[in-house]
Amino acid sequence: MHKVSRRKLLQNGAQAALAGGVALSAIPRLEASALGKSSVPVVNYYEKLGVTPFINAAGTYTTLSASTMPDEVQAAIALASRRPVNLNELLEASGAYLAQRLRCEAALVTSGAAGALVLGTAACVNLGNEQEILAIPTDMAGLKNEVVVQKAHRYDYDHALRNCGIRFVEVETLDEYEQAFTDRTVMAHFFNAGGGTITREDWIRVAHQHRVPCFNDAAADVPPISNLWNYTQMGFDLVTFSGGKGLRGPQCSGLLLGRKDLIDAAKKNNSPNSNTVGRGMKVAKEEIVGLVAAVDWFLSQDDVAMEAEFRQRAERIAKHVSNLPTVQTRIFIPEVANHVPHLLITYDQNRIKITGREVMQKMRAGKPRIELNPSTGGVPASAGLPSGPNTIVVGVWMLQPGQDVVVAKRLREVLEQAVA
């Protein structure tokens, strides 16, 4: 491998400086060093800080740092991180590119789906009141601020909307929904993986009869790839996806997709504008470029091939444990969120004397450290995932090549030790 020496880099820089400060000729060489050809030593900061990484047999859970970025995405970020740009120009250009690729009117890279929920809600408050309200959320006196939502769609991300000083109006039936609109309504909110009796189509139709925009939170809802345009094309005025889950972009990135006037209003409430509700949800050039690269990568994937690969991993793990006494295995695909094959392992606790929770602890304490899906042995970690004290859930989609076998062997070892 050809290494660019530090001295050579300095020489190139000096030559460029002598040539009148136009350092362009030196830039490609600096980029090469950003892509791993540098002789600068790389420090393993996890090691230095004493934080132990793990094999991710869980999935894209936020606390577990969600996903890892494909090489293409990491390389694009490394390159972008070397060059200053105007953030507004980059937000504009990336938004236009994403809107075209994702078949919607407009797009914005946000700090995450939660950040997109704040900015999209702020945009709806602005439009509903026909003015820019830079005082969101503290000076809302006399302003329209009602958001209609199904009771079953109240969730932990409510707080993102409440950051905009809104008040929720809950409905359960279609009839109640039709009656819920007042002259103070600014938005109708939908949780894509939530339950509830009102369909997406009815949700959109009724909101539009009242000229109220509707927002769909689909943060964890790719694959399938086509979901990236399904919901905007269905008529939702705003849709968000997390950048760091199935898309495998930077964890602190997200997509806000939808109507141009709303995206424009969202931008006004966003970083880098200082006096806004969104200023603390800054996205840097690295996240913006990283998310664009992740979308390019994700669109180059194939749903059928991805599912087949995940099934193979699940089957490989199942084969290692299925001949233990009373063990049953099954592959399960949740309907909406995390719509990928998961491996479910159940057993009779009279024969294998260990709870799912204990299995999870042992896997976590081993070398290498392994994290199982948080539904293991307890309550469902995401919509639709089965659970129970004698249920082990293995999320296989974030495993790296070869790790399925490591997980399988360790899982067998832990269960075998508990056979009565």
Ligand X SMILES: *Cc1c(COP(=O)(O)O)cnc(C)c1O
**Residues within the interface to ligand X (CB under 6 A):** 62, 112-114, 157, 217, 219-220, 242, 244, 254
Distance in Å, CB of 321 to ligand X, minimum: 29
Nearest residue (beta carbon) to ligand X = 112
Distance in Å, CB of 111 to ligand X, minimum: 7
Question: Which residue in the block uniquely carries the two structure tokens 């990135």?
Answer: 253
The residue among 23 and 64 lying less far from ligand X, judged by its C-beta, is 64
Instruction: Supply the DSSP string of 102-145, one letter for each residue.
Output: TTSSEEEEESSHHHHHHHHHHHHHHHHTTS--TTTTT--TTS--
The residue among 150 and 242 lying less far from ligand X, judged by its C-beta, is 242
Distance in Å, CB of 304 to ligand X, minimum: 24
The residue among 277 and 354 lying less far from ligand X, judged by its C-beta, is 277
Cα-only R_g, the chain = 24
The residue among 112 and 356 lying less far from ligand X, judged by its C-beta, is 112
The residue among 26 and 228 lying less far from ligand X, judged by its C-beta, is 228
The residue among 256 and 407 lying less far from ligand X, judged by its C-beta, is 256
User: Prior bond to 341 cis, omega within 30?
Assistant: no
Two tokens, residue 362: 């042992």
The residue among 34 and 336 lying less far from ligand X, judged by its C-beta, is 336
Q: Which amino acid is at 314?
A: A
Distance in Å, CB of 163 to ligand X, minimum: 12
Distance in Å, CB of 68 to ligand X, minimum: 15
SS3 327: coil
The residue among 30 and 193 lying less far from ligand X, judged by its C-beta, is 193
How many CB atoms neighbour CB 357 within 10 A?
13
Nearest residue to 228 (alpha-carbon basis) of 305, 291, 295, 287: 295
The answer to whether 12 and 29 have CB atoms below 8 angstroms apart is: yes
Nearest residue to 309 (alpha-carbon basis) of 325, 331, 291: 331
The residue among 251 and 391 lying less far from ligand X, judged by its C-beta, is 251
Distance in Å, CB of 313 to ligand X, minimum: 23
For residue 153, the 8-state DSSP code is: G
CA distance 156 to 128: 25
How many CB atoms neighbour CB 272 within 10 A?
13
The residue among 26 and 114 lying less far from ligand X, judged by its C-beta, is 114
In whole angstroms, what separates CA 8 from the centre of its chain? 41
The answer to whether 144 and 183 have CB atoms below 8 angstroms apart is: yes
Q: Is 415 exposed, middle or buried (0-12, 13-18, 19+ CB in 10 A)?
A: buried
In whole angstroms, what separates CA 316 from the centre of its chain? 27
Phi-psi region of 190 (alpha: psi -120 to 50; beta: other; left: phi over 0): beta
End-to-end CA distance of the chain: 55
Distance in Å, CB of 161 to ligand X, minimum: 11
Distance in Å, CB of 190 to ligand X, minimum: 11
The residue among 144 and 258 lying less far from ligand X, judged by its C-beta, is 258
Sheet hosting strand 391-395, strand order edge to edge: 328-332, 342-346, 391-395
The answer to whether 402 and 395 have CB atoms below 8 angstroms apart is: no
Distance in Å, CB of 95 to ligand X, minimum: 17
CA distance 248 to 207: 33
Two tokens, residue 93: 């250009």
Distance in Å, CB of 294 to ligand X, minimum: 12
Distance in Å, CB of 92 to ligand X, minimum: 22
How many CB atoms neighbour CB 348 within 10 A?
13
